[in-house]
Amino acid sequence: MSEKPIPDSEASNDDSSTSNISFTTKKMKSNKEMEKYGINRVLIPIYHYKTFRYTNLEDALSQAKRDEKMNEAS
């Protein structure tokens, strides 16, 4: 499978260029509204264990340890 070249966003006149500009404009508007209303974006760590997701590391570790005990008992 050959790789498709990524067009230079400044030189491109296709729909993806327009889409990128539209996305950027929406993001800028969102950022202005967030600032206006005092809304903050916070990055939250997500811990993945098997098919589960946890926002608390202790919960993920507890589940992993329970699984470990179950496997040892088998």
pTM (two decimals): 0.51
Give the whole-angstrom CA distance, residue 34 versus residue 26: 12
Question: Which amino acid belongs to residue 45?
Answer: P
Residue 9 has pLDDT above 90, yes or no: no
Does residue 50 belong to any structural domain of this protein? yes
Domain that holds residue 26: 14-42
DSSP code per residue over 8-43: PTTT--SHHHHHHHHHHHHHHHHHHHHHHHT-----
Q: Count up the domains in the chain and report the number.
A: 2
Does residue 3 belong to any structural domain of this protein? no
Instruction: Return the pLDDT at 18.
Output: 73
Instruction: Return the pLDDT at 23.
Output: 80
Q: Using CB atoms within 10 A of its CB, is residue 4 exposed (0-12), middle (13-18) or buried (19+)?
A: exposed
Does residue 8 belong to any structural domain of this protein? no
Contacts of 14 (CB under 8 A, 6+ apart): 7
Indicate whether 74 and 50 sit together in one domain.
yes
